Amino acid sequence: MTHAKVREFVADTRIVREAFSHFPSGVAVLAVEVDEQKHGLVASSFMVGVSLDPCLVAVAVQKTSETWAALKNARAVGVSIFSKGQKNLPRQLAAKDRSTRFNGVQVEVTSDGAVFLDDAALWFDCSIYDVSEAGDHWMVLLQVHRLGGGDVEPLIWHGARFRELAVEAIS
C-alpha cells in the first residue's frame, strides 16, 4: 500500500542521510587508552535503553573506522555523552589527525583504560557485549557496568548541526 507521505527512493545515500538528519539524537564519544595513547570514536548513532537486564546500550560503527580497531579489543570502553557546553569537542575528537584529537581535552582514565570526558552530560563505563554485522556498519552492544550523570543538558545533533534543548515555559 502506498501512502502520500511516504515516497519510494532510489538507493541514493544523500536522500537517506537527509531523512535521517531530521531525527534528533545525542552525541557520544567512545574512548579508550591503549599504551598511553587515547582513542576516541564520535557517534550520533548511540542508543540507550536496549536492555535493562543485562544493562545494554548500543552504537553503530562504520566498518571503515580506523579507530574501531583500538576499541574493539579494549577491556573497558568509556562512553561520554557530550553536554551542551561541548559543541566544539565532537569535531575535534573526530578529526582526521588522530594524534591531536585529545589535545587540551580534560579527561579521566580508569585503571582499565576507559576514558571519560570532564563536564559530559552522562557517562557509561562499558565492555563489549556483542558485535554483529549491519550493512556498512557494525552494530555494537555494550554492557554497562557503571554509570553517572552530571546536572547538565546534552548536546543534540539534528538537521546536520549541533543544537541545544529548548526549555518550554509552563504557564
Q: How far apart are CA 47 and CA 60, in angstroms?
A: 9
pTM confidence score: 0.87
Q: Tell me: the pLDDT tens digits for 108-121? A: 999 999 999 999 99
> How buried is residue 72: exposed, middle or buried, by Cβ count under 10 Å (0-12/13-18/19+)?
middle
With a cut of 70, list the residues of the chain below it in pLDDT.
1-10, 169, 171
| Torsion from C-alpha of 37, 123, 56, 17, nearest 10 degrees | -80
Cell 515555559 -> residue: 169
Q: Which domains does the chain have, with CATH numbers?
A: 25-158 (2.30.110.10)
